[in-house]
Structure 1
Amino acid sequence: MSPAVSRTARRIGLALLMLLLALAGLGYWLGTREPADPPARAAAAAPGTAHGPDESGQITRGRYLAALGNCMGCHTAARDPGQPSGRGALYAGGDALVTPYGRFHAPNLTPDREHGLGNWTQDDFWRALRHGKRPDGSLLYPAFPYTSYRHLTRADADALFAYLQSLPAVPRPNIDHELSFPYSLRPLLAYWRALYFRADAPLPSAGDTEASPQWLRGRYLTEGLAHCAECHTARNPLGALRGDAPLGGAMMPGQGWYAPPLTGEPGTGLGNWAEQDIAELLRTGLSQHGFAAGPMAESVRNGFQHASEADAKAIAHYLKRLPAGPPPAPSAVPDYGVMAQGRKLYEGLCLQCHQAKGEGLMPAWPALVGNPGVLAKAPDNLIRLVLDGGFAPATPAHPRPHGMPPFGPTLSDADIAAVATYVRNSWGNSASPVTLPEVRRVRDRLR
């Protein structure tokens, strides 16, 4: 290579390196910048200041908002034998959240100065919710759903903070996240955020074009505080919510549960539900179309059962105005022998509760006809309930809900596949047959 060509190659290489560094710098800036915020509506409290009487009702308001957002679900350990309730101390840190990227540990939110929020201000808390940043500016992982909480108003954020600061301080140390490489490199979050996060992104506008006060309230709760998209919207390989099917149903990564569509598909979604059915499920855990199970049961038990009637109806009003997703692909025709085996099992084990035509017997046993949990694209929830049983959440409306007994110890994988296929394809139901590998995968997860 001649000297002139060599010099040209070096110059091109240097220019490309400088371009890459410039792009990397731009990406990092885009991922860490903070758009201008609306002004605070209340003076920032001094770090660690104990709140006095709830004269303004702010703490009461914050307690209500924390319930609707099911903050307890992540930030309170499900089991702690050392506590009188058997659960962990309220908001002192939760159980591990298992994901494809590793295990996330929800931190202590009590006003403990060393391990909790005792040294935080209102502005610090707002920054975490709105911008996904700690007080020192380090980036939070979106396992904390600031991608939804960014839509909260400053007034609601301040009320939440006031409530958390009113709790007893619990000196429970936080646990570091256990993430695989390269997800353990926190600075790389800047580039994820540059691609998928904008603190000032507007709320979705699809649905009711009239934007009535009830619709606006329902949108605010659904898309913001209740962060429904975090479970009910599919994610891309980097864990960002996909924009092509919002609230269109998704497997919950690492959880083994399928969150069904909240859009208007008949059967698999909410197309056959009335607004009252949706509001009833939120506040009681039961409706004529099914009952809340798995993570949704927890959301009802910890949160939605405390929703006011007006807020539950607002969420239902908003969801019923979401457009239906694309129709599902035609499902395979189930094998005649499998259906015959499934019918025999159903008549022997299930008919007494769920009735001859799958119509159920409310409020004790929900219908299987038109039940989204039965007709779901992914049959994991149905398989899991047959294997392991389960209960609807206990609420004031149904303090002692009837349960589904576990059949996993007595039925083979082939039996479970057969009875699940039968209920998915009887009495007008139509869904894909359940296969042996699907049953084995769910059973292995439960071991």
Structure 2
Amino acid sequence: MARTITPLRVAVVVLLAGLGALALAVLLQLRGAPLEDSATNVTSSPQLVERGAYLARAGNCMACHTERGGAPYAGGRAVPTPFGAVVSTNLTSDAATGIGGWSAAEFWRAMHHGQSKDGRLLYPAFPYTSFTLVTREDSDALFAFLQSQPAVEQANRAHGLRFPYNTQAALAVWRALYFEPATFQPEPARDAEWNRGAYLARGLAHCAACHTERDPLGGSSEAQAFRGGIMPAQDWYAPSLRSVSEGGVADWDTQQVVALLKTGVADGASVAGPMAEVVLHSTQHLSDADLRAMAVFVQDLPPHADKTVAFKAADPQQMERGGKLYEQQCAQCHGDNGEGAAGVYPRLAGNRAVALDAPHNPVQVILGGGFAPATAGHPRPYGMPPYRTLLTDEEVAAVATFVRQSWGNQAGAVSSLAVQRLR
């Protein structure tokens, strides 16, 4: 007798097939990637070490793998995530606690496959989803540089992740959903400069790791790359690099983009928050050729349509309160009409950073202060003091709202509850 095929039966079969495929993928993840030429190592040279040092700055490796006040690359810094803290590991040449006992192939497996020396799956707070595009040659140079670092005996601390995120099984599921090792493939229709910029921005510099929205499991997709998103646990908004109303630079002069990455300031723009750290520790040290290549690539990102957000004027009382606070605390530097001072204090009128749909960045600057990076091209930047202890949540909300709805700015009002959450 023929069995009736119902939509429900089809759905069950599809679900079971999907679960079976996922289980198989998890088993394959847990088995680990094959280790190539594990018995061999790279032949180090001063030139290779120097190249590796440059690549380490491009990848901003020290920022995560150095604890505040600690030895360079000795690890120990707790990187906050929505699932708990991931503590960075010791990358020095110490054989017992660092990577002194690793081979170049084992280091390559960590970069390309996201797996440790013993085959354990690594947490994607180490951005191997981007580093997988790094070439074996660049991986070997990085390894040679790290092996040249003084050995620091500092045991790796346990992560502070909650269950089940602290299990290898959970990591295997995550990787089955979001990660597949890849190789950078140059675009034949593009020139060498564009491809170099794509290699850096998508790979070692891992720009999309911040400038891409993440789902509740911390995953992202290629379709959303560079479209902007909240940086989990840091509560800053990394603006879309594909929208000229947010962080896009398609309409900028290329040299202006280079200047921003090299000095932290450009005509009518400056960096703050996490991006200030990127410029301080990474991009200011890159060659003009590489910075220009990254600029060319970012300027060519396909644009996306901006979200349509209906503008709603703030409560007049909140605007009045914010205006008084602005006059008392802000106008001396930023000007009575938000005009700022060229090359010294940022302009607030028409400043897209304060008028983003998400109010996170202006609130974070008011609470924690705004500090541009000290760079060779801008060695003594002016900073903005923090107002965390001076202003209440209601006052921060009022002055942020005033700035976001004055001098032609049209962004949503900020609530005291939003400030409390960010505080």
TM-score scaled to structure 2, two decimals? 0.89
Counterpart position of 2:61: 71
Counterpart position of 1:81: none
8 A Cα contact 2:396 2:419, kept in partner: yes
Structure 1 distance, partners of 2:150, 2:255, is: 38
Which shows bigger deviation, 89-98 or 421-430? Answer: 421-430
Matched AA of 1:200: A
Alignment of structure 1 residues 17-416 onto 2, 5 Å = 23=21, 25-31=23-29, 44-45=41-42, 54=46, 57-78=47-68, 87-200=69-182, 210-267=189-246, 269-270=248-249, 273-330=252-309, 331-416=311-396
Structure 1 distance, partners of 2:65, 2:153, is: 14
Which shows bigger deviation, 251-260 or 336-345? Answer: 336-345
Which shows bigger deviation, 116-125 or 372-381? Answer: 372-381
Structure 1 distance, partners of 2:409, 2:19, is: 57
Q: Deviations over 1:231-279 (max 9, x none)?
A: 1111112111134421111111111222111223324543554332322
Q: Deviations over 1:141-178 (max 9, x none)?
A: 11111000000111111110010001100001101112
Matched AA of 1:352: Q
Q: How many correspondences in the alignment?
A: 409
Matched AA of 1:178: G
Counterpart position of 2:412: 432
Matched AA of 2:316: Y
8 A Cα contact 1:69 1:225, kept in partner: yes
Structure-2 change in CA distance of 1:412 and 1:271 (3 Å): farther
8 A Cα contact 1:268 1:371, kept in partner: no
| Structure 1, gaps ≥5 residues long | 1-14, 79-86
Deviation of residue 351 (structure 1)? 2.2
8 A Cα contact 1:287 1:366, kept in partner: no
Structure-2 change in CA distance of 1:197 and 1:203 (3 Å): farther
Structure-2 change in CA distance of 1:307 and 1:202 (3 Å): closer
8 A Cα contact 2:76 2:156, kept in partner: no
Which shows bigger deviation, 140-149 or 295-304? Answer: 295-304
Deviation of residue 26 (structure 1)? 1.6
Q: Deviations over 1:100-131 (max 9, x none)?
A: 11110110000100011111111111110001
Counterpart position of 2:6: none
Deviation of residue 324 (structure 1)? 2.4
8 A Cα contact 1:386 1:406, kept in partner: yes
8 A Cα contact 1:70 1:302, kept in partner: yes
Q: Residue 97 of structure 1 aligns to a residue in which SS?
A: strand
Structure 2 distance, partners of 1:274, 1:97, is: 35
Structure 2 distance, partners of 1:361, 1:315, is: 29
Structure 1 distance, partners of 2:257, 2:21, is: 47
Structure 2 distance, partners of 1:20, 1:312, is: 44
% identical aligned pairs = 46
Structure 2 distance, partners of 1:204, 1:250, is: 27
Deviation of residue 184 (structure 1)? 1.1
Deviation of residue 210 (structure 1)? 4.1
Deviation of residue 422 (structure 1)? 1.8
Structure 1 distance, partners of 2:343, 2:17, is: 65
Structure-2 change in CA distance of 1:329 and 1:393 (3 Å): same
8 A Cα contact 1:290 1:373, kept in partner: no
8 A Cα contact 2:248 2:299, kept in partner: no
8 A Cα contact 2:350 2:407, kept in partner: no
Q: Deviations over 1:315-349 (max 9, x none)?
A: 11111111222212223222233223323332332
Q: Residue 79 of structure 2 aligns to a residue in which SS?
A: strand
8 A Cα contact 1:139 1:187, kept in partner: no
Deviation of residue 30 (structure 1)? 4.6
Which shows bigger deviation, 298-307 or 331-340? Answer: 331-340
